Amino acid sequence: MNRILVIEDDELIQRIIEKALSRDEFRVDAVSNGKDAIRKLEESGYGYQMIITDIMIPYANGLEIVSKVKHHTEGAPARVIIISNASNEEMVADAFKLGVDDFLKKPFSPAELVGKVKKLLAGSEEASP
């Protein structure tokens, strides 16, 4: 079962994401800030296959989380989707430079998110030896 870490400080959006992904039998952990996200990543040995994060979160922004995940040296790095209402094109470009796999602008469709998650995870399974 694919493990997904959701990092979102808006409780309603966090619940929407959890509910949408749980219906498709993903194992979802959710936190509301960067400090808790880093703790979860370390506790799991960076064992998540997917990270879904907002850019603007307390204690460590989403780009810092992406950098940690993509530069972790053991195992395959997790796929990352940014969900944000940040309209700063430079910030979005920076996210892709760090290795973000996809971007969704808030408000988003939960069905679209699930589709992107499935597509990215299917692609990473095909790339595995």
Taking only the tens place, the pLDDT of each residue in 31-69 is 999 999 999 999 999 999 999 999 989 998 999 999 999
With 60 as the cut, is the pLDDT of residue 128 above it? no
Look at 91 and 40; give whichever has higher pLDDT.
40
With 50 as the cut, is the pLDDT of residue 70 above it? yes
Least confident of 36-40, 75-79, 121-125: 121-125
CATH class of the region 3-124 = alpha beta
Task: Evaluate whether 51 touches 2 at the Cβ level (below 8 Å).
Answer: no
**With helix as H, strand as E and coil as C, how does the chain read?**
CCEEEEECCCHHHHHHHHHHHHCCCCEEEEECCHHHHHHHHHHCCCCCCEEEECCCCCCCCHHHHHHHHHCCCCCCCCEEEEEECCCCHHHHHHHHHHCCCEEEECCCCHHHHHHHHHHHHHHHHHHCC
Q: Is the overall model pTM greater than 0.75, yes or no?
A: yes
